[in-house]
Structure 1
Amino acid sequence: MRYKGAMSSTSSLRVGTVPYLVGRPLDLGLGDEEGIDLTAAVPARLVEGLREGSLDVALVSSIELFRREGYGYLPGLAVSGRGYVASVQLFLRRAVEEVRSIALDPSSRTAATLVRVLLTERPGGAPEFKEVAAGDDPREADCDGWLRIGDAALREVAAPDAPAVFNPSQVWCERTGLPFVFAAWVVRPGVDPSPWLAAFERARERGLARLDELAAGAARDWHLPPELCKRYLREECVFESLPDMHAALLAFRDAAAALGLCSGAFDPLPLGDLRPPPPVPCRRE
């Protein structure tokens, strides 16, 4: 999928984004900016584009920063949470302390890694993690719990018969005192995004100015409670600059590397000069 306004000249920056609600506050109108060639694809395809060199920058799972050497990222332009985030949920058929098997949604490498980090060292030992095939419903797996992300998680958590949940972002924040960075604008090695930084900032400004409109559209299209969508975009997700973003990324890297889920040697550089606001404390649901 290619957005209206995308350019194809050799001087353009090839950018990939996700076709989900959570990406709109960061990419709204980005494809209409001069020199931006914007494509939308599922996260796995975006990662492939970065690795193969067909994309220069992409909004992808933060764990990718620590799985290839030489990546950078745009600081302050990310999808983060400082507490409960409704679009990443571990749904449970029994108490989390009793869970013995978990089906992982392969759509998000970061969310799956975070669940492993949080549950591996629990009392009683780690559960068995089963990654379902792409396109399969993790709820249908024969497991005590299943990870759901994105728009599908919003729909499921809003259902009248929604099961109990374990919210990974909330637990991470309570344990570490740091935000959790779900996705960032990752820059492949050898690319200098400086000429386009202002375009990314303008896209975020447009998105933040239209959060209520985006929430209303999602509620209408998916038959969800309007307040759920509004709360999700306005209160749960953080799209603005965080002073402890890099510290949060490195804390996640170290926790994942301790389990062999990524390299602990990579320290990706924030590219650009965005001034962060004062820190915001973690929220409790």
Structure 2
Amino acid sequence: MLRIGAVSYLNTKPLIYGLRERLESNQSGVCGQLSLNLPSRLATQLRVGELDVALIPSVEYFRGQSDYQIVSDAAIACRGPVWSVRLLSRVPVRKIKRLALDEGSRTSVALTKVLLWEMYALRPETVPLTMEQTPEAVDADAVLVIGDRAMHPEPGVYSEIWDLGDRWCRWSELPFVFAMWVARRGVDIDRLAELLQQSRDEGVANLESIAGQYAAPHGLTNEDLHHYFADNLHYHLGPREQSGLELFRSRCSHLGLIADETTAAGAENE
């Protein structure tokens, strides 16, 4: 039985549409269990062998690339503004000296560092923003927030707000890939790609229904959430997404983010 982990945020709902039921019913000969967690925690679980397959941040795929294999062309990407990944700055961005980073996604952390360096040659001091802290309460010039809480920043607090998907796409002229389905090498993934792509395709075909189910609990209108799914996000890992992924890997490597963060993550888990 495959142990499969997926991101618990709204953006993954179309990707895992009916997936739990398909796995439990042994559809297409694939039997497994689905669990939900934060992106960074999924990456740790995959690395230590607590999961066989996971929807992990792209930067975590880079860090374990020799031990991992991409399972499917189902992914979480954007080709412009993404809405749910934002840099909120109390000062003009070029003047940021202290940056608080949301602990939920290491890819968004790396993306922020890459863009600040590429656009302004900035490498500010960083501090963590925990899930228990509000962005307004943290002592920093700017805050990276992701997921549901990035969608509604406190009005009147920030000098600049960057949508990081939009900033990347404008700078690189390529899509950005936030996460993809990855398996540890040696795991039997026969027929799994088909199952994951089937869930993605049916989820994309039922965006209105998914929006109706999840909008109100997250303080969104059905229309807003449907717009987020249909227009802000892109769920296919195609050739241009792969080019964007490779450029991101190159820039992360250039800044030492892949090796540095691997070492730090290992220390945290000892």
RMSD over equivalenced CA pairs, Å:
2.0
The Cα offsets for residues 14-36 of structure 1, whole Å up to 9 and x where unpaired, read as 11012221111111111112112
Residues 58, 185 of structure 1: 8 Å contact kept: yes
Correspondence for 1:5: none
Cα offset, 1:150, TM superposition: 0.6
Q: Does 1:31 align with 2:20?
A: yes
Distance in 2, Cα, partners of 1:124 & 1:79: 28
The Cα offsets for residues 78-106 of structure 1, whole Å up to 9 and x where unpaired, read as 00011111010111212222222211001
Correspondence for 2:236: 240
Residues 83, 228 of structure 2: 8 Å contact kept: yes
- Structure 1 residues 216 and 110, CA gap change in structure 2 (3 angstroms): same
Cα offset, 1:141, TM superposition: 1.6
The Cα offsets for residues 99-134 of structure 1, whole Å up to 9 and x where unpaired, read as 222110011000000000010244464332222345
Q: Does 1:71 align with 2:60?
A: no
Correspondence for 2:11: 22
Which of 16, 28, 36 is 1:40 aligned to?
A: 36
| Unmatched tracts of structure 1, length 5 or more | 1-11, 265-285
Distance in 2, Cα, partners of 1:241 & 1:116: 23
Q: Secondary structure at the match of 1:194?
A: coil
User: What code does the residue aligned with 2:195 have?
Assistant: A
Q: Does 1:142 align with 2:139?
A: yes
- Structure 1 residues 117 and 124, CA gap change in structure 2 (3 angstroms): closer
Q: Secondary structure at the match of 2:74?
A: strand
Correspondence for 1:262: 258
Correspondence for 1:7: none
Distance in 2, Cα, partners of 1:36 & 1:161: 47
Structure 1 or 2: larger helix share? 2
Cα offset, 1:174, TM superposition: 1.1
- Larger deviation, residues 17-26 vs 80-89: 17-26
Cα offset, 1:75, TM superposition: 3.9
- Structure 1 residues 234 and 145, CA gap change in structure 2 (3 angstroms): same
Correspondence for 1:194: 190
| Unmatched tracts of structure 2, length 5 or more | 261-270
Q: Does 1:179 align with 2:175?
A: yes
Q: Does 1:206 align with 2:226?
A: no
User: What code does the residue aligned with 1:205 have?
Assistant: D
Cα offset, 1:59, TM superposition: 0.8
User: What code does the residue aligned with 1:76 have?
Assistant: D
Correspondence for 1:267: none
Q: Does 1:215 align with 2:211?
A: yes
Cα offset, 1:228, TM superposition: 2.3
Distance in 1, Cα, partners of 2:175 & 2:259: 21
- Structure 1 residues 136 and 189, CA gap change in structure 2 (3 angstroms): farther
Q: Secondary structure at the match of 1:230?
A: helix
Distance in 2, Cα, partners of 1:122 & 1:128: 17
Q: Does 1:114 align with 2:111?
A: yes
The size of the alignment, in residue pairs, is 251
Deviating above 6 A after TM superposition, structure 1's stretches of 4 or more consecutive aligned residues are: none
User: What code does the residue aligned with 2:254 have?
Assistant: A
Distance in 2, Cα, partners of 1:205 & 1:78: 11
Distance in 2, Cα, partners of 1:92 & 1:77: 33
